[in-house]
């Protein structure tokens, strides 16, 4: 290196210049500048770490509170139980099988209230969407028309009472009787024909509440008919012929006609070539009209119900026998049905029958023009007719 004073060359390890005696100061070693380092982003704690930390803090807080509570005697918690969710004045009967929900409160010395609401348990209430009242009927005519009519009536009853009723159309009266007589009942209401009702009543399954009125009368008649071109003019000529009936338990369609046939010396079981179950009064008319049967039976005058499809039916089909008076069908309830609910439905139906819309729906369903209240005694006169003819429920 060179002396900074005299500029003469001197060894590196000398502390004084040998030429001029200048004290030499060793040069500071050169340190390379630090390498540039890119700033690193801060790393966030994972969510589980926050959860763990929060949990630990909560545990510590609980321990502190517990230790503090153990340091002195504390008053007993106050248990408060009160009914909730039931309006004042609401009556809950034992038959509802319903437990009133209660709210249990625990009040601590600092008036902190912990509320526990138990889940109320109750069976589905009859007459609701979850458990509708089933009204079972058998179509006297076209099924779609009958269903439409009863659905309209059910909607009107709902508007009057808030009760949900579902019409159920069975294929025959025996099915309705079994539904009403089953335990528990599969149908709660029925619109049984006269003899079918008597069968159900004798079994203790049904009670009459309303009787239908058609054309101003609570009774009706049955008829036996043939084609006008058949040459048949009397009941006695039906021996060996085929016969269309609406239903085996139809009063006007088979019970009374079978009694009439027996009175004429014809045994329906052995003297007729064939008995055809047509399924409805309309179908019985159509069966004879189309030549499927030689004769048939229905209520008077079911021919008018098929005039749209058979415009000349009144000329093609001729009536050869009309029965004695028969009590009309109506509305019956299973014997176990709630009395208050029955009263609501009966009152609603009577009110509906007073309106133009109600009469139209009743007519579409069952050709009813009105309804009147009647109990089981209304059918006693007909029971006497059956007894006189030697007919009993066991026969059918």
Mean pLDDT, 10 residues at a time, the chain of 396 residues: 72 64 57 51 55 67 64 44 37 36 41 42 78 89 82 95 93 91 94 92 95 92 96 95 94 91 92 94 95 96 92 96 91 96 97 95 91 94 84 70
Q: Which of 299, 323, 347 is the last residue of a domain?
A: 323
C-alpha to C-alpha distance for 258 and 256, rounded to whole angstroms: 5
Its domain, for residue 271, covers 222-323
Sheet holding 189-190, edge to edge: 165-169, 133-137, 189-190, 330-334, 206-213, 370-373
- Tokens encoding 151: 């659905």
Tally of CB atoms within 10 A around 153:
24
Tally of CB atoms within 10 A around 218:
17
Angle at 296 between CA 295 and CA 297, to 5 degrees: 145
For residue 168, CA distances in Å to 179, 186, 274, 300 come to 10, 10, 30, 25
C-alpha to C-alpha distance for 127 and 131, rounded to whole angstroms: 6
- Tokens encoding 333: 């309830």
C-alpha to C-alpha distance for 196 and 38, rounded to whole angstroms: 98
Q: Which of 271, 303, 323 is the last residue of a domain?
A: 323
Q: Which residues 6+ apart lie within 8 Å of 387 measured at CB?
A: none
Overall pTM > 0.85:
no
CA 50 centroid distance within chain: 51
Q: Which residues 6+ apart lie within 8 Å of 191 measured at CB?
A: 135, 136, 137, 138, 329, 330, 331, 332, 366
Q: Say yes or no: 238 and 363 in one domain.
A: no
Return the pLDDT at 27: 53
Q: Say yes or no: 213 and 342 in one domain.
A: yes
* Count of structural domains within the chain: 2
Q: Say yes or no: 158 and 180 in one domain.
A: yes
DSSP secondary structure code for residue 217 in this structure? B
Return the pLDDT at 43: 53
Q: Say yes or no: 200 and 254 in one domain.
A: no
Q: Say yes or no: 353 and 227 in one domain.
A: no
Domain for residue 110, yes or no?
no
C-alpha to C-alpha distance for 374 and 345, rounded to whole angstroms: 14
Domain for residue 72, yes or no?
no
Q: Say yes or no: 344 and 206 in one domain.
A: yes
Q: Say yes or no: 297 and 340 in one domain.
A: no
Q: Say yes or no: 298 and 369 in one domain.
A: no
DSSP string, 283-323: HHHHHHHTTS-SEEEEETTGGGGGTTT-TTHHHHEEEEEEP
How far the first Cα of the chain sits from its last, in Å, is: 141
pLDDT in tens, 172-203: 889 999 999 999 999 999 999 888 999 999 99
CATH of the domain at 143: 3.40.190.10
Domain for residue 95, yes or no?
no
Domain for residue 84, yes or no?
no
C-alpha to C-alpha distance for 280 and 286, rounded to whole angstroms: 10
Domain for residue 50, yes or no?
no
Domain for residue 102, yes or no?
no
- Contact status, residue 296 vs residue 285, Cβ threshold 8 Å: yes
Rounded to 5 degrees, φ, ψ at 316 are: -75, -40
Q: Say yes or no: 208 and 338 in one domain.
A: yes
Q: Which residues 6+ apart lie within 8 Å of 181 measured at CB?
A: 200, 203, 205
Domain for residue 204, yes or no?
yes
Q: Say yes or no: 319 and 226 in one domain.
A: yes
CA 358 centroid distance within chain: 23
Q: What stretches of the chain show up as alpha helix (H) in DSSP?
A: 47-70, 143-161, 173-181, 194-202, 256-263, 281-289, 313-316, 339-352, 356-366, 380-388
DSSP three-state, residue 200? helix
Return the pLDDT at 267: 93
Which one, of 190, 194, 172, 292, lies nearest residue 252 by Cα?
194
Q: Say yes or no: 280 and 350 in one domain.
A: no
Q: Which of 266, 288, 323 is the last residue of a domain?
A: 323
C-alpha to C-alpha distance for 388 and 393, rounded to whole angstroms: 13
Q: Say yes or no: 177 and 267 in one domain.
A: no
DSSP three-state, residue 134? strand
Domain for residue 246, yes or no?
yes
């Amino acid at each position: 290196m060179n002396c900074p004073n005299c500029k003469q060359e001197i060894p590196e390890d000398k502390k004084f210049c040998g030429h001029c005696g200048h004290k030499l100061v060793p040069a500071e070693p050169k340190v390379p500048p630090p390498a540039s380092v890119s700033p690193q982003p801060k790393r966030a704690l994972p969510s589980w770490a926050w959860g763990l930390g929060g949990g630990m803090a909560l545990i510590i807080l609980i321990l502190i509170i517990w230790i503090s509570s153990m340091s002195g005697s504390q008053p007993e918690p106050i248990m408060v139980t009160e009914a909730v969710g039931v309006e004042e004045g609401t009556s809950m009967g034992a038959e509802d099988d319903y437990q009133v929900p209660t709210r249990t409160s625990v009040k601590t010395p600092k008036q902190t209230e912990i509320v526990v609401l138990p889940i109320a348990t109750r069976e589905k209430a009859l007459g609701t969407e979850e458990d509708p009242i089933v009204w079972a009927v058998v179509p006297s005519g076209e099924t779609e028309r009958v269903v439409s009519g009863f659905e309209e009536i059910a909607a009107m009853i709902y508007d009057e009472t808030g009760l949900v009723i579902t019409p159920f159309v069975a294929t025959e009266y025996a099915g309705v009787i079994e539904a009403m007589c089953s335990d528990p009942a599969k149908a709660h209401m029925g619109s049984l024909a006269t003899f079918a009702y008597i069968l159900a009543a004798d079994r203790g399954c049904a009670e009459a509440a309303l009787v239908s009125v058609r054309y101003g009368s609570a009774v009706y008649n049955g008829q036996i008919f043939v084609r006008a071109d058949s040459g048949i003019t009397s009941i006695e000529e039906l021996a060996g012929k085929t016969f269309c009936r609406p239903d085996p338990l139809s009063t006007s369609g088979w019970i009374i006609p079978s009694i009439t046939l027996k009175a004429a010396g014809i045994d329906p079981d052995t003297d007729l070539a064939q008995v055809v179950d047509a399924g409805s009064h309309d179908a019985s008319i159509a069966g004879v009209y189309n030549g499927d049967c030689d004769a048939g039976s229905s209520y008077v005058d079911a021919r008018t119900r098929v005039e749209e499809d058979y415009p000349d039916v009144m000329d093609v089909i001729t009536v050869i026998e009309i029965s004695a008076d028969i009590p009309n069908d109506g509305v019956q309830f299973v014997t176990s049905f709630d009395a208050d609910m029955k009263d609501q439905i009966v009152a609603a139906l009577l009110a509906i029958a007073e309106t133009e819309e109600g009469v139209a729906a009743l007519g579409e369903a069952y050709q009813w023009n009105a309804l009147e209240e009647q109990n089981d005694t209304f059918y006693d006169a007909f029971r006497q007719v059956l007894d006189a003819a030697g007919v009993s429920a066991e026969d059918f």
